[in-house]
Structures are given as C-alpha cells and as structure tokens.
Amino acid sequence: MAEQAYTVASDSETTGEEKSSTFPEIAIGVDIGTSQCSVAVWNGSQVELLKNTRNQKMMRSYVTFKEDTPSGGVSSQLFHEHDLLSGATIFNMKRLIGRVDTDPVIHASKNLPFLVQTLDIGVRPFIAALVNNMWRSTTPEEVLAIFLVELRAMAEAQLKRPIRNIVLTVPVSFSRFQLTRIERTCAMAGLHVLRLMPEPTAVALLYGQHQQQASHENTGSGCEKIALIFNMGAGYCDVAVTATAGGVSQIKALAGYTIGGEDLLQNMMCYLLPDSQSLFKNHGVKEIKSMGLLRVATQDAIHQLSSQTNVQVDVDLGDGLKICKVVDREEFEEVNKNLFEKCESLIIQCLQDAKVEVEDVNDVIIVGGCSFIPKVKNLVTNIFKGKEPYKGMNPLEAAVCGAAVEGAVASGINDPFGYLDLLTIQATPLAIGIRANGNNFIPLIPRNTTMPARKDVVFTTIHDNQTEALILVYEGEGKKVEENHMLGYFKITGIPRAPKGVPEINVCMDIDAANVLRVLAGVVMPGCRQPAIPVMEVRMPTVDDGHGWCAEALNRTYGASLNLVTLQKKA
C-alpha cells in the first residue's frame, strides 16, 4: 500500500468562505461514528453509499499503530475483532476528541484496551497505543485524521475525482471547542468542512426530502409535518424536533448527551466482572488482552439480546479468570436503567423546548445503532403512546444520507425533480454567554435559538474607576461557569474612569448561518452617543488547550478585579 502522509492545512483554508463561490464538486457526506463510519454522495438522482474494497458500507472507526504506517478500519485487509484489542489499536475517537482530563467521559474511557491516562488538571489526557511493547502517544485528532485520509482515498478511488469538500455529521452535545477540533482534524486530512451538521438535523433534512417527494407524488398532504428524531449511536444520544413543509425544515429544538452503546457496554462489563476496573488498571499486555476479550464477549451478548431474551456469556479471560453466565434481557435493562431514563428525559426536554405536545408529532424516527435494542424502541414509543415509529429510513444510514443531501444542496446542485429544493434552518444546541455577577453564567443566546442569531446584554463595572474588564465566553447549560465549556476570553481596556455601575458595557453575540460565533464588546458612557472605545470583535473559540487550567490561572491572577455585573435598567 502506498504511503499516505497527512498534511496540515492552514486554518484559513478550513474556513475558506470565499472559496465557496466556485464549487468544483459535490461535497460528500461523512458520518464518523464512535464505532462505525460511512460515506455517501448524491449521484445526480439519489444518495449512494460508498463501499470499501471489501464491499462494506459501514467501516469500523479505528486505527492500528504499527512500526511503519498506521492503518485504519477503511483499508486494513485483515479484520478480526481481537486484532482490535492488542493495545495497538485506538478507537472511540469521537468520544475522546476535544476533552480535557477532568472530563468524566475521559475518566470512563480508562478501561479501553489502550492507554488513557489523566492528571486531572484540565489538560489533554495522555492517550497512547502499544507498539512493540512501547507506548506511542497520540491524540484523537491524529487518529481521526489518519482515518479520514483513508476514507478520502477510498472515496477518490470510487468517484474518480479529487475530494475536498465534505459535510460532516456531529453530535448535538459537541461544544464549539470540539467542533473546531473536528474542523482542524479534517484540515489535517486535506478536507474542507463545508458544513458540520448535528446528526439528527441531517436525518431531519432527509425526512424533509421524503415529505417533499411524497407531496410531489401527491401521496402526501403537503402541509406542515412535525417529526421527532431520536438518534442513539455508540457514543452519543441526540434528539431533535423538526417541523417541515415545502422542503423547508425548521429545527425547533435539539437535545443531546454523551450516552450511547459504549455506556451500555461499560455497565454490562462491570456487571459481568465487578472488579474489572481494578483488575485492568495496569495496562500490561495480558490485561489489555483480557480487557479486549471481555469487551468483545459483552458486545456480542448485547447484540444477541436485541433478538433473543437471554444469552450465554462464556469467555476465558486468561489467568484462570473465566466468565460463564446466562444473562437475560431484563438484567441488561436493569443494569442500564439510569441510562434509559436519561434518554427519556432528553426526549421530554426536547419536546418542551420545541413547545410541541406528544399528540402534535406526526412521525417518530428512531435511528442509530442502539435503535435495534428493544428497550430503546420501547421507551421512545411509550412516550408517544405506542405510536409506530416512522418506516422508510435505514437506522444506520439515515444520518450519512442526510449529510450527502446537504452536501449536494450546499454545493448548489439543482435537481430537475426538485428533490434538492430543500433547506434546514438550524438552531443552537447549547446556550452561549459570559461570566458575570460573580461566578455565574449569563446566557446571551439561549439554547434552541434559530440561526442566524444575535443577542446583546448590557453589563457594567463592579469597582469604582475600573478601567478594564474581562469577557469570559462560555457555552453550556450550567448556572455556574465551571459547569460549562470555556470558549475563550478577551479583555476590554480603556473604560473611562467612573463610579461603579456607570459605564455601559454592551456585549453582543452573533452566530451567522455558517455557525461562526463572534463576540463584540463596546463601552458607552451614559449620555454619550459615541462608544468610548473602539468596539472589539472577537471570533470564538479562542482557547486552544487546557482551558480548565486557564480559568483557574485567570482567577488566581486577577480575582474579581476585572469582573462585570448585568446592568439593571432603571425604571
């Protein structure tokens, strides 16, 4: 196999809005799942999924490090579950990307059969693959980039043209920091992200297309239809409510959380071998193998429980450690009770945010790898009073197909039948705001705001003659800033000397249709028409690594000296 070096493209290339005016190609749709990946493209009349040389549409998301070139799940010739588990193979990149070592998701990843180490100080975790008995450090970005290079080569070979533009699906709960990481990863693989689509919104677009086709063929009513999309894969659970009419889909609400098949698997592994965490702490070759074996056996058992009510788990983990147990479906459901409850609460939250009643929902769409689990299907249909889920979408392919349709729409392709006459109006999945009133998070743009969006709030100083203020931008749902992701910060200087509470510091947040977030800050003294200092405009996120650290350092150095409070309007 020819060597495929990955290249680092500059950031400006990844943003390249200017280039979008002349598209040489139809952007392809890519769905990088925690466990599996797929690629699809609009072939002129419909969406077509691309297959690798082994005729697979779904490719495992992993990269195996070797002495020479690493190889990923797209191209490797030999495929056996157990090869994944020699310590040299890194997977679950999507769960690990853009997270610091204080993140609970990183902590939960410590029993993966490769090295994930944390120092719990808010920096990148130490991730490494075992190659010839030596730990070779890597990052989720590097692993994903290697994988994407393979994916790209495969697509180029099949479509017989160079591939540059892609539409990529992402989990709803990804922070903007994580999105930046994903974009950079794509740039490393020489790919330009035309659009990042939250997974259920890609499904919503596909649903919109179905409705459009149905109304063309006069089988549909052509009036507005509301659908709830529940998408649970290996790493993430996402929910969306969409209202579609005439090819236009308005995303009314989004909700997402980091729970998926991986968590079900972890819980089951703990159940089958309660002290697995401590047993596998050492990450020696033997332990990694045992961990791997347990993982494969548990995964098989969960898969079988989707079609049968009980399953025999019989696995020899080595060193006299054997598991021989019959597990039935109720046990599996009981072990994962909390996770299923969380799924329910996401759906309910999403309906509430969308201001949609259960009765108003025309279609319930259940997709993602976990949709095969009977309990998952039941919990969704129970909320909708036993309503039959929407048929006509392949649960594993819906997201990538939606991404491919979006790729064609965004590339300006027209379809003679109007099947690409589509539009998705997106909403912001997470609230964005700044730190003010002490350690509180003051959202400026609430979650589920239609994009493009702009909001502003007036703040003021907390000290007399305060001439500088720190604008700390966060994203999330927590009331306190530390519960949210820090996206960046900047300082406004040159505030005219005045008693506290007098200067009006106007902070404005703007998200354009391309989902670019800008934060503007200006200062006005009461009675003046002109801003006291030039307006600062900063594109977010600005922080790169270790933002947990950085917030603490800022706090240590400046305390409350640069703080702000919201300005109460005088009656």
Kindly list the residues in this chain that would bind other proteins in the complex (CB under 8 A).
Answer: 18, 20-23, 224, 243, 245-248, 250, 352, 409-412, 421, 423-425, 450, 452-454, 456, 458, 504, 506, 508, 510, 512-514, 518, 520, 522, 524, 529-531, 534-535, 537, 568-569, 571
Measured from the CB atom, the residue of 66 and 355 that comes closer to other proteins is 355
How many Cα atoms sit within 13 Å of 288 on the Cβ side?
22
Q: Report, in Å, the least distance between residue 566 CB and other proteins.
A: 10
Q: Report, in Å, the least distance between residue 522 CB and other proteins.
A: 5
Mark residue 326 as left, alpha or beta (left: phi above 0; alpha: psi -120 to 50; beta: remaining).
beta
Nearest of 395, 394, 397, 424 to residue 408 by alpha carbon: 424
C-alpha pair distances (Å), 398 with each of 28, 34, 40, 206: 14, 16, 10, 7
Measured from the CB atom, the residue of 18 and 275 that comes closer to other proteins is 18
Measured from the CB atom, the residue of 21 and 132 that comes closer to other proteins is 21
Measured from the CB atom, the residue of 245 and 323 that comes closer to other proteins is 245
C-alpha pair distances (Å), 291 with each of 235, 287, 319: 19, 6, 12
What's the sign of the alpha-carbon dihedral 193, 401, 256, 294? negative
Q: What is the spatial distance between Cα 89 and Cα 66, in angstroms, rounded to a whole number?
A: 9
Measured from the CB atom, the residue of 51 and 454 that comes closer to other proteins is 454
Mode of pairing for the β-strands spanning 469-475 and 432-436 = antiparallel
Measured from the CB atom, the residue of 300 and 421 that comes closer to other proteins is 421
CB 207 within 8 A of CB 142: no
Q: Report, in Å, the least distance between residue 450 CB and other proteins.
A: 5
Nearest of 350, 354, 381 to residue 365 by alpha carbon: 381
User: ∠ CA 69-75-78 to the nearest 5 degrees?
Assistant: 90
Measured from the CB atom, the residue of 157 and 513 that comes closer to other proteins is 513
Q: Residue 506 class from Cβ within 10 Å (0-12 exposed, 13-18 middle, 19+ buried)? A: middle
Q: Report, in Å, the least distance between residue 218 CB and other proteins.
A: 19
Nearest of 250, 232, 253 to residue 241 by alpha carbon: 253
C-alpha pair distances (Å), 483 with each of 200, 435, 459, 490, 540: 25, 12, 22, 20, 19
Q: Report, in Å, the least distance between residue 472 CB and other proteins.
A: 19
Helical ranges in 82-169 per DSSP H: 93-96, 104-107, 140-159
Measured from the CB atom, the residue of 143 and 197 that comes closer to other proteins is 197
Q: Report, in Å, the least distance between residue 86 CB and other proteins.
A: 45
Q: Report, in Å, the least distance between residue 48 CB and other proteins.
A: 22
Q: Report, in Å, the least distance between residue 420 CB and other proteins.
A: 11
Q: What is the spatial distance between Cα 515 and Cα 200, in angstroms, rounded to a whole number?
A: 17
Measured from the CB atom, the residue of 296 and 410 that comes closer to other proteins is 410
Q: Report, in Å, the least distance between residue 451 CB and other proteins.
A: 8
Measured from the CB atom, the residue of 335 and 516 that comes closer to other proteins is 516
Q: Report, in Å, the least distance between residue 408 CB and other proteins.
A: 12
All residues at 6 or more sequence positions from 515 whose CB lies less than 8 Å from its CB, including other chains: 179, 196, 426, 451
Q: Report, in Å, the least distance between residue 342 CB and other proteins.
A: 18
DSSP 480: B
Three-class HEC string of 160-200: CCCCCEEEEEECCCCCHHHHHHHHHHHHHECCEEEEEEEHH
Measured from the CB atom, the residue of 241 and 272 that comes closer to other proteins is 241
Measured from the CB atom, the residue of 153 and 520 that comes closer to other proteins is 520
Q: Report, in Å, the least distance between residue 274 CB and other proteins.
A: 39
- Residue 311 C-alpha from the chain's centroid: 33
C-alpha pair distances (Å), 506 with each of 38, 370, 456, 492: 45, 46, 7, 11
The partner residues of 7 in beta bridges, in order of sequence, read: 189
